[in-house]
Chains A and B, each alone.
Chain A
Amino acid sequence: MGTLIESLIAAHIVVGSLFIFVGSLGLVRLPDLMSRLHAQSKATTLGVGGCLVASMIHFGALQGRVSVQEVLIILFLFLTSPVTAHFLSKAYLHTQADPEADLPQAQGDSDWSTFGTYVQGTMRPSKPGIPPSDEGEASA
């Protein structure tokens, strides 16, 4: 392998592993669950992507063909990492968050829509005095 390809692989490995370490360092240092979730999901996915690109270049240079398995892994991580972050934040909202103290104020006269309930085809918001909307969406 030429030195250009070797330095490319080495640079991707170093940058990817640094991102992974910084993303996990955020779990130790940050004060709140939401901040930790933000740091972990962004930085860790990017770091694993960097390591995967290094693996693709490495095995492409060794075998002379493009390997699809790494693309599958990073595609799966890009698809599922936002879904897990969404579920974790929703669980936090419904179990731990104090709506007055922790959450920012929703715009207009309605509340956060995740706190409403779904009754007989209409969406009833959690604050009294607001008319129910016609869009049918389950609450959780």
Chain B
Amino acid sequence: MIESALTFGLVAVAAALLCNAYRLVLGPTTLDRVLAVDTMVVNAIALILLYGIREGTAMNFESALLLAMFSFISTVAFCRFLLRGDIIE
């Protein structure tokens, strides 16, 4: 039962990644693209989690935590650059 649920979950998250790529290519403004990249990283975290359940190993969860940290810092830095013109003053 878990295998079929995992297949469904992986397909759903991959479709979500395609939707984010659509918004990343098409988004009329820069902020749309920043939002799409941030959402892509969160979806990648979910993908790492589901893959870890499938393989039965918990070794990949540190990379998920690192991805979360990097996406947060990069989104905040980009928005701060758009607001101020500089990241660290």
Interface residues of A (CB under 8 A from B): 3, 6-7, 9-11, 13-14, 16-18, 20-21, 23-25, 27-28, 33, 36-37, 40, 44-45, 47-48, 51-52, 54-55, 58-59, 62, 67, 69-70, 72-73, 76-77, 80, 83-84, 87-88, 90-92, 94-96, 140
Contact = CB atoms under 8 A, between A and B. Distances in A.
B interface, how many residues as a size bin?
35 or more
Contacts of B8: 13-14, 17
Nearest to B74: A84
Contacts of B56: 62
Given A28-B22, A36-B32, A92-B31, A55 B69 contact: no
Given A24-B17, A84-B79, 20 more contacts: A10-B5, A13-B9, A20-B12, A24-B20, A25-B19, A28-B22, A33-B29, A37-B35, A51-B49, A51-B50, A52-B49, A59-B58, A69-B65, A73-B64, A84-B76, A88-B79, A92-B31, A95-B82, A96-B29, A96-B31
Contacts, number: 151
Contact of A36 (B23, B45, B65): B23
